Chains A and B, each alone.
Chain A
Amino acid sequence: MYAQLVKSEGMKAREEMSPEEIAFQERIDRGEKIEPKEWMPEGYRKTLIRQIGQHAHSEIVGQLPEGNWITRAPTLERKAILLAKVQDEAGHGLYLYSAAETLGVSRDELMELLHAGKMKYSSIFNYPTLTWADIGAVGWLVDGAAIMNQVPLQRTSFGPYSRAMIRICKEESFHQRQGYAIMMKMAQGTPEQKRMAQDALNRFWYPALMMFGPSDKDSVHSAQSMAWKIKINTNDELRQKFVDQTVPQAEYLGLTVPDPDLKWNEDKGGYDFSEPDWSEFFEVIAGNGPCNKDRLGARVRAWEDGAWFREGLMAHAEKQAARRAPVAAE
């Protein structure tokens, strides 16, 4: 999802656990929250830093494809809405970096790891937003998929992560609805606008399905993360839920989900659907998607170009503080 391939530590059998580890697992099983200063296995801490960091990076990098359209939104109102949505995503990044920081890593360290290509962000943000309809598709599908994943994470075992998720979830439904509202407008518009909406759905459908990460049979890191309750559902469970929720929404728009094999399966009470092309997914994750270089380049540039400003404000703050400090006795 926003954290798609988070490497987790190997799952330990109970016999191999230390007394602390057993007590820790029992607390999680009882549904207790783990707080930053409390004892935790090193693997739990490391996995969480990776996962929360990746999630935070996704929020920040995720501003870029939408930011692309702020200056070209079709009306002033749409522009204000998109601006507010993208601003929320910056906030989401902040909540998550703050949660990661409670585990003993600094935000600057996480930034440096991202910029060095040593940490990932969601594959979805490596696809371009070519038309205004893409902004609709992103809100509807990408934020929709994010919600699917983030709602259960409100119950995650790590207190600061759980609280960040609660704040984020409160803001997400605005994101999805503004996207769907754009899609409705386009789908009910001129034939050309409807074609744009269909084209956006065609291009974003499979990348959105990839957001949930590889199929369960290939997802090697799940068991330990699920025992620790830092992953609540499997990738395939969430993907299925997403498809079941989204197909009727596409039908309402009069758009066609680009999957000839999509059909309702009465027995399982859900849709059968085609898997995305996983080789494409692994290529994008490896840095070879359509926009990887652009996205990371934009982040690095923003960071470097902003350095003088961050340093300037800090220098000013220090000067002011020195001026306020009582003059030492002579």
Chain B
Amino acid sequence: MSKEWPLWEVFIRGQHGLNHRHVGSLHAPDAEMAIMNARDVYTRRNEGVSIWVVRSSEITASSPSDKGPLFEPSNSKVYRHPTFFDIPEEVGHM
């Protein structure tokens, strides 16, 4: 049985200077081929100006079961949002 090409995650930066964004994955034998394939699959309609690829096996992800302990602490910190503060209308835009 032949060996399957490894899986890569593909990240693309669009035209407008935003962050690279995860767009999907693909199989390729090495990083160079992964970039070529990503060009062919994920930028057929001018979707990008820059491509990153990374071996899927190299990604460490937070665990879904930790969702609570990991993200809950920020729920109680509503003062981190500007809307927490009432600024009188007379002050103008802030």
Is A35 touching B4 in the complex (CB atoms < 8 A)? Answer: no
Give the docked Cα–Cα distance between A29 and B26 (Å). 31
Is B29 touching A316 in the complex (CB atoms < 8 A)? Answer: yes
Give the docked Cα–Cα distance between A320 and B2 (Å). 19
**Is A328's beta carbon under 8 Å from chain B?**
no
Give the docked Cα–Cα distance between A37 and B64 (Å). 7
Is B3 touching A98 in the complex (CB atoms < 8 A)? Answer: no
- Min CB distance A7 to B, Å, is 26
**Among B24, B25, B26, B30, contact of A320 (Cβ-Cβ < 8 Å):** B30
- Chain A residues touching B, range: 20 to 34
In the complex, the chain B residue whose C-beta lies closest to that of A84 is B44
Residues in chain B near residue A101, CB distance under 8 A: 7, 25
**Is A94's beta carbon under 8 Å from chain B?**
yes
Report if A94-B64 is in contact (Cβ < 8 Å); known contacts: A107-B27, A314-B29, A317-B29.
Answer: no
**Among A95, A106, A307, A313, contact of B33 (Cβ-Cβ < 8 Å):** A313
Is A167 touching B33 in the complex (CB atoms < 8 A)? Answer: no
Is B3 touching A314 in the complex (CB atoms < 8 A)? Answer: yes
Is A91 touching B3 in the complex (CB atoms < 8 A)? Answer: no
- Min CB distance B31 to A, Å, is 9
Contact with A along B36-58 (1 / 0, CB 8 A): 00001100110000000000000
Residues in chain A near residue B27, CB distance under 8 A: 107
Give the docked Cα–Cα distance between A163 and B21 (Å). 13
Give the docked Cα–Cα distance between A39 and B65 (Å). 9
Give the docked Cα–Cα distance between A108 and B1 (Å). 10
In the complex, the chain A residue whose C-beta lies closest to that of B64 is A38
**Among B2, B45, B61, contact of A310 (Cβ-Cβ < 8 Å):** B2
- Min CB distance A2 to B, Å, is 19
Docked complex: B1-21 residues within 8 A CB-CB of A: 2-5, 7
Give the docked Cα–Cα distance between A307 and B24 (Å). 25
**Among B24, B33, B40, B63, contact of A98 (Cβ-Cβ < 8 Å):** B24
In the complex, the chain A residue whose C-beta lies closest to that of B41 is A91
Residues in chain A near residue B61, CB distance under 8 A: 37
In the complex, the chain A residue whose C-beta lies closest to that of B37 is A94
5 tightest A-B contacts by CB?
A317-B30, A317-B29, A313-B29, A38-B64, A98-B25
With A37-B63, A314-B2, A317-B29 given, can you name 11 additional A-B contacts, CB distance below 8 Å?
Answer: A35-B64, A39-B64, A91-B41, A94-B24, A94-B26, A98-B7, A98-B24, A107-B27, A108-B4, A313-B30, A317-B33
Sample (14) of A-B pairs whose CB atoms are under 8 Å apart: A35-B64, A37-B64, A94-B24, A94-B41, A98-B24, A107-B27, A108-B4, A310-B2, A311-B2, A311-B3, A313-B5, A313-B29, A314-B3, A321-B30
